[in-house]
């Protein structure tokens, strides 16, 4: 990816995205080291799932891709990537960063997307927790994948021991959250899904859970007032701790990690 220098001609959405790029692409830990490490963990988990089932040249749709850092990474790995986001003006920002790879731009509401072809993989990172009807969202993603293809999602983990947001399956009428959906910030999260819910929603959408990776323990992400410690802890130690907790039994991992990436196969 090309490293950008801010320009007075930039659109407001580009200026908003740039500080996140400093952390996500360039690993700038000065302001929020927890965010930097958390992003790296969920990126690595998600990309590894994609690489396990997709070969270079495959067609991948990146839904609600924001400033396109997953899109750009996958394009650089040799995949043909279609970028999508409801904010059309971000397409120019993504293209400004593109150095290599094939990217097609298709802005629009994810629920309204239609294509002439089906995709080998559909990716949706950190978006399903922002929609009022995650069941309908997952079903929509499934319609965009060819039979035998895959959906990959990453999302905050509902079973994390400090989560206080409701389970989707416990809400009688999720439509009451429709006015809040699509908000871009963590405070706009509606539901945090649990692994058992993912399996149920996937089955209804004609998908099967094929793999899952927990990531970002409460220390790595700087939670529980641990953020100041990340500024002086060696990176190697932080990453080693993350590897250790990811190797723990699932019964423990689902309680101490804040995020998970899931690989789903279309029947």
Q: What is the mean pLDDT of residues 187-196?
A: 91
* 7 inside domain: no
Q: What is the pLDDT of residue 68?
A: 97
Cα–Cα distance between 155 and 7 in angstroms, integer?
A: 33
Q: What is the pLDDT of residue 35?
A: 92
Q: What is the pLDDT of residue 135?
A: 96
Cα–Cα distance between 160 and 162 in angstroms, integer?
A: 6
Contacts of 183-189 with C-beta under 8 Å, sequence gap 24+, read: 183/130, 184/66, 184/130, 188/130, 189/129, 189/130, 189/156, 189/165
Q: Is the pLDDT of residue 227 over 80?
A: no
* 11 inside domain: no
Q: What is the pLDDT of residue 224?
A: 65
Q: What is the pTM of this model?
A: 0.94
* 5 inside domain: no
* 4 inside domain: no
* 157 inside domain: yes
Question: How many CA atoms does the CB half-sphere of 106 hold within 13 Å?
Answer: 17
Backbone φ/ψ region at 62: left (φ over 0), alpha (ψ -120 to 50), beta: beta
Q: What is the pLDDT of residues 34-75, one digit of tens each?
A: 999 999 999 999 999 999 999 999 999 999 999 999 999 999
- CATH number of the domain to which 89 belongs: 3.40.50.150
Count of other CB atoms within 10 angstroms of residue 155: 23
Instruction: Using alpha carbons, select from 83, 78, 79 the residue that is nearest to residue 113.
Output: 83
Cα–Cα distance between 112 and 143 in angstroms, integer?
A: 11
* 231 inside domain: yes
Q: Is the pLDDT of residue 254 over 70?
A: yes
Contact at 8 Å (CB) between 252 and 137?
Answer: no
Cα–Cα distance between 145 and 155 in angstroms, integer?
A: 20
Q: What is the pLDDT of residue 121?
A: 98
Q: Is the pLDDT of residue 170 over 70?
A: yes
Residue 151 sits at φ, ψ, to 5 deg, of -115, 135
Cα–Cα distance between 85 and 31 in angstroms, integer?
A: 27
Higher pLDDT, 229 or 40: 40
Number of domains forming the structure of the chain:
1
Give the structural domain span for 130. 21-266
64 contact partners, CB below 8 Å, separation of at least 6: 84, 85, 86, 110, 124, 125, 127
3-state secondary structure (DSSP) of residue 267: coil
Average predicted confidence (pLDDT) for the chain:
94
* 9 inside domain: no
Q: Is the pLDDT of residue 229 over 90?
A: no
* 14 inside domain: no
């Amino acid at each position: 990816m090309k490293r950008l220098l801010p320009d007075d001609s930039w659109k407001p959405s580009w200026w908003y995205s740039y500080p996140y790029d400093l952390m996500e692409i360039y690993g700038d830990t000065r302001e929020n080291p927890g965010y930097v490490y958390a992003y790296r963990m969920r990126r690595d988990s998600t990309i590894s799932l994609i690489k396990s089932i997709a070969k270079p040249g495959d067609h991948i749709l990146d839904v609600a891709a924001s400033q396109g850092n997953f899109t750009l990474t996958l394009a650089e790995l040799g995949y043909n990537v279609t970028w999508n986001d409801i904010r059309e003006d971000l397409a120019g920002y993504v293209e400004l960063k593109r150095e290599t790879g094939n990217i097609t731009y298709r802005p629009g509401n994810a629920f309204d997307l239609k294509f002439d072809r089906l995709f080998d993989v559909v990716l949706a990172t950190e978006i399903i927790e922002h929609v009022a009807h995650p069941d309908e969202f997952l079903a929509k993603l499934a319609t965009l994948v060819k039979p035998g293809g895959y959906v990959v999602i990453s999302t905050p983990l509902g079973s994390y021991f400090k989560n206080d947001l409701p389970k989707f399956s416990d809400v009688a009428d999720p439509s009451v959250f429709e006015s809040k959906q699509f908000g871009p910030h963590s405070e706009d999260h509606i539901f945090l899904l649990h692994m058992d819910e993912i399996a149920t929603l996937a089955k209804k959408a004609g998908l099967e859970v094929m793999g899952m990776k927990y990531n970002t323990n409460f220390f790595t992400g700087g939670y529980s007032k641990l953020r100041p410690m990340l500024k002086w802890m060696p990176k190697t130690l932080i990453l080693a701790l993350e590897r250790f907790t990811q190797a723990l039994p699932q019964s423990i991992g689902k309680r101490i990690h804040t995020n998970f990436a899931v690989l789903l196969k279309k029947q």
